[in-house]
Amino acid sequence: MTNRSVIFFLAMVLVIPCFLTGCGKSPEEKAIEKFVQQKSGGKVSVDMSQGKVTVKEGNTTVTSGGNVQVPDTFPKDVPIYPKTQVLNSLTAGDMVHLTLISQENIEKIVASYKEQMKQQGWKEITSFAMGTTVTMGYDKDNRHATVAVSEMEKGKNGIQLQVSQKK
Residue 46: per-residue pLDDT:
52
CATH topology of domain 68-167: TATA-Binding Protein (3.30.310)
Question: Each residue of 107-121: pLDDT tens digit?
Answer: 999 999 999 999 999
What are the phi and psi torsion angles at 48 (to 5°)?
Answer: -70, -20
Say how many CA atoms lie within 13 Å of 101 toward its Cβ: 14
- Whether the model pTM is above 0.85: no
Domain boundaries, the chain: 1-67, 68-167
Q: Is the predicted pLDDT of residue 44 greater than 80, yes or no? A: no
Greater confidence, 15 or 86? 86
Q: For 44-62, give one letter per residue: b (16+ CB within 10 A) or e.
A: bebeeeebbbbbbbeebbb
